[in-house]
């Protein structure tokens, strides 16, 4: 695509002119935006870039290993992985209120990133995968109290660095579909670029009670089975987003000759244009049946699966 290869060339020379011989630190989530940002920066400045990935312990199955392989082996980008699982679990212990969970995770995430940055020594620049929509949503229309959502890419320390010209946000003029096309121009794997959205707070906001290692493990397995079956059946690309939800409810079941009394997993699959409104995905019964029977048979502690048939509004996509 001519426009995108032109854009890549321009951005690369812009980044080189700005960074010169100095060092850049990038917070990596492993999602589309931060991956494209990392690849673009690496093409521009090579080893002057270091990425930091915070493993919260709230990621999907295999995610941290996939990020490690992709960055270190495939891209050859310097990557620091912070194993922060135990600190996240400790900070979230006993917390079941959704907003409180989000605040704790957001703050700890930044603390972990900052601690690693300090350990790595001075980096002159901070890079972020901020998109045009992120910039708009964090700019207040009618004063600070009217901000649509406070974006973690715009916390005070970052704002100060922006003022000082020390933040690089090469995607800040782009929309998501343009970022995906940019990713293709940078030779990033198509499957990665067209992944579903996944919320920053991770599996924590899909567990409708206090997070424990045990319920995260249960949800992670159920989620992986659901994704596997969606990919096999060709439904992955047809839905906007899919997530399993851990319900802190137990119901009675039967396994062989024995009574069971175990947890319930809800499946939340939606179709949507932009995430603002959504309909539940009209999945064929056969696909639903396969997902349900596999989860019940393969995941310990789950004996029932239900399907969420709410639309947004009034229900949201995530349950918390
Ligand atoms: P809701 O639940 O508000 O979600 O209908 C709309 C979209 O936003 C995602 N989402 C988040 N993404 N951090 C994120 O990065 C968050 O805290 C967060 N909460 C919701 C959600 O997955 C859906 O795609």
Is the shortest distance between the CB of 176 and ligand 1 below 6 Å? no
130 known member of a binding site: no
Work out the percent of the chain whose per-residue pLDDT is above 70.
Answer: 95
Residues 131, 236 within the same domain: no
Residue 155 clears pLDDT 90, i.e. is over it: no
Protein residue with its CA nearest to atom 20 in ligand 1: 199
Residue 313 domain flag: no
pLDDT at 140: 53
Could you read off the pLDDT of 203-231 as tens digits, one per residue? Answer: 999 999 999 999 999 999 999 999 999 99
Q: Higher confidence at residue 1 or residue 109?
A: 109
Residue 33 among known ligand-binding residues: yes
Instruction: For 73-102, write each residue's pLDDT tens digit.
Output: 999 999 999 999 999 999 999 999 999 999
Q: What is the CATH number of the domain that holds 247?
A: 3.30.300.10
77 and 223 co-located in one domain: no
pLDDT at 302: 98
- Domain span at residue 230? 202-307
Q: Environment class of residue 250 by beta-carbon count within 10 Å: exposed (0-12), middle (13-18) or buried (19+)?
A: middle
Domain match, 188 and 57 both:
yes
Please give the DSSP secondary-structure letter assigned to residue 72.
I
Residue 175 inside a domain? The answer is yes
pLDDT tens column, 11-60 = 999 999 999 999 999 999 999 999 999 999 999 999 999 999 999 999 99
Protein residue with least CA distance to atom 6, ligand 1: 275
Q: Distance between CA atoms of 123 and 125, rounded to whole angstroms? A: 6
Task: Note the pLDDT of residue 139.
Answer: 64
| pTM of the model as a whole | 0.92
Rounded distance from Cα 66 to ligand 1 centre (Å): 22
Q: Are 207 and 216 in contact, with CB atoms under 8 Å apart?
A: yes
Domain stops at, among 193, 228, 243 = 193
Q: Which of 144, 167, 193 is the last residue of a domain?
A: 193
Token representation of residue 88: 């996240």
86 is in an annotated binding site: no
Same domain, 210 and 184: no
| 67: Cβ contacts below 8 Å, ≥ 6 apart | 28, 30, 53, 79, 81
Answer yes or no: is 318 within a domain: no
């Amino acid at each position: 695509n001519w426009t995108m290869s032109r854009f890549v060339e321009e951005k690369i020379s812009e980044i080189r002119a700005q960074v010169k011989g100095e060092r850049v630190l990038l917070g990596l989530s492993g999602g589309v935006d931060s991956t494209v940002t990392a690849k673009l920066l690496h093409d521009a400045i090579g080893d002057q870039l270091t990425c930091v990935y915070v493993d919260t312990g709230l990621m999907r199955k295999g995610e941290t290993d996939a990020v490690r392989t992709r960055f270190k082996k495939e891209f050859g980008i310097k990557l620091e992985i912070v194993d922060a699982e135990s600190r996240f679990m400790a900070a979230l212990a006993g917390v079941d209120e959704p907003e409180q969970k989000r605040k704790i995770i957001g703050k700890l995430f930044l603390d972990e990133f900052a601690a690693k940055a300090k350990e790595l020594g001075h980096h002159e620049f901070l890079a972020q995968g901020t998109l045009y929509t992120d910039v708009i949503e964090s700019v207040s229309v009618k004063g600070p109290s009217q901000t649509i959502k406070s974006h973690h890419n715009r916390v005070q320390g970052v704002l100060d660095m922006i003022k000082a010209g020390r933040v690089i946000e090469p995607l800040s003029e782009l929309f998501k579909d343009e970022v995906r096309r940019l990713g293709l121009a940078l030779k990033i794997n198509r499957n990665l670029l067209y992944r579903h959205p996944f919320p920053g707070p991770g599996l924590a906001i899909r567990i409708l009670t206090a997070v424990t290692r045990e319920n995260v493990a249960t949800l992670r397995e159920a989620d992986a089975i659901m994704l596997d079956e969606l990919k096999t059946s060709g439904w992955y690309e047809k839905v906007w987003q899919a997530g399993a939800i851990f319900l802190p409810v137990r119901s009675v079941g039967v396994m062989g000759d024995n009574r069971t009394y175990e947890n319930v997993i809800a499946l939340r699959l939606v179709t949507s244009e932009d995430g603002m409104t959504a309909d539940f995905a009209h999945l064929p019964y056969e696909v639903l049946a396969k997902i349900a029977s596999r989860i019940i048979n393969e995941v310990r502690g789950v004996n029932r699966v239900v399907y969420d048939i709410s639309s947004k509004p009034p229900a949201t996509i995530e349950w918390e």
